[in-house]
């Protein structure tokens, strides 16, 4: 099992200091945020000089003995304006321009792939209509990323059009080559039982890990309802991606209520114990 940690867990710290914490947690890799208006690396600033921005990040990461596990590309501060399925064609093209920058950045920092958001249901439109536009936009993105050797995954999240496991499965079926960045917390928050989420694991390229419980997107480890031992055992030896510690600090969904350093360390220990138990069971 390989552990990574998100640099955007500590948005108030200089980027180098956030990377130092990732290293101090014992992680071998980092998830880099490429998020308009909020991450250490700002897409709006890097635009036009992606190679320069990526080179600086890569040097900063490698000097700490870290690899890049994933680039999380979020084009706007809201879920709608640059969604891949925005009903406005001009907005969709602006979103594709952002994604092209994200692909160039991910390739230049040495990431194996990147994560983006799947889109939303707009107004009172039927789910199927939103799903088809999302699938069209994501097919283009899978092709663009794949052309330079990068895998693409989307994160099913609260507020997205795939906020339940069955909806996520429908999007995957509509977009060949698309995978998931799976954060159990979003599904658990919405009330999905773990037995409904686990079948998505074979489609996971990347896992984002934090404690959660129904109605609470980001919880203390002591209050966690996710059975991580079961998750790690289900992944098995066939999973070659990372498990990313992904506590965040932001007002959205009350995600500023926990000690992100302490909870990241506690969850790390839970995941390592789960990996040891799985390895021991396999040796018997």
Q: Rounded distance, CA 238 to CA 8, Å?
A: 28
Residues 110 and 58 sit within 8 Å (Cβ to Cβ): yes
pTM: 0.97
Can you read off the two tokens belonging to residue 270? 């839970």
Tell me which of 252 and 127 has the higher pLDDT. 127
Structural domains present in the chain: 2-78+90-111+185-283 (3.20.20.150)
Torsion angle (degrees, nearest 10) of CA 32, 23, 218, 240: 70
SS3 content of the chain, % helix, strand, coil (to 5): 50, 15, 35
d(CA 143, CA 151): 9
CB atoms within 10 A of CB 223: 11
Task: Read off φ and ψ for residue 71, nearest 5 degrees.
Answer: -115, 125
**Which candidate, 29, 40, 24, 41, places its Cα nearest to that of 5?**
29
- pLDDT tens for each residue of 199-237: 999 999 999 999 999 999 999 999 999 999 999 999 987
Would you say residue 282 has pLDDT above 70? no
Largest CA distance in the chain: 58
Question: In the predicted model, is pLDDT for residue 283 greater than 60?
Answer: no
User: Do residues 184 and 234 touch, judged by C-beta distance below 8 A?
Assistant: no
Contact 82, 102 (CB under 8 A): no
pLDDT band at 172 (very low <50, low <70, confident <90, very high): very high
């Amino acid at each position: 099992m390989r552990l990574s940690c998100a640099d955007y867990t500590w948005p108030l710290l200089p980027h180098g200091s956030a990377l130092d914490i990732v290293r101090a947690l014992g992680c071998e890799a980092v998830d880099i945020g490429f998020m308009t208006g909020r991450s250490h690396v700002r897409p709006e600033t890097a635009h036009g000089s992606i190679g320069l921005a990526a080179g600086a990040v890569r040097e900063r990461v490698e000097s700490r003995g870290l690899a890049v596990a994933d680039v999380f590309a979020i084009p706007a501060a809201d879920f709608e304006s640059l969604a891949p399925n925005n009903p406005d064609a001009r907005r969709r093209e602006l979103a594709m321009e952002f994604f092209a920058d994200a692909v160039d950045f991910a390739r230049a920092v040495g990431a194996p792939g990147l994560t983006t958001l799947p889109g939303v249901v707009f107004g009172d439109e039927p789910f199927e209509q939103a799903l088809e536009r999302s699938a069209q936009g994501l097919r283009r993105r899978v092709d663009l990323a794949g052309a330079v050797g990068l895998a693409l995954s989307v994160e099913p999240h609260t507020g997205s059009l795939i906020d339940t496991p069955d909806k996520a499965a429908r999007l995957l079926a509509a977009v060949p080559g698309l995978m998931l960045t799976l954060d159990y917390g979003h599904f658990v928050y919405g009330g999905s039982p773990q037995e409904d989420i686990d079948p998505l694991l074979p489609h996971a390229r990347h896992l984002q890990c934090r404690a959660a419980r129904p109605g609470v997107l980001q919880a203390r480890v002591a209050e966690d309802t996710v059975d991580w031992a079961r998750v790690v055992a289900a992944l098995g030896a066939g999973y070659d991606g990372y498990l990313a510690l992904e506590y965040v600090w932001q007002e959205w969904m009350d995600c500023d209520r926990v000690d992100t350093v302490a909870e990241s360390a506690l969850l790390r220990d839970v995941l390592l114990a789960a990996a040891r138990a799985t390895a021991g069971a396999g040796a018997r």
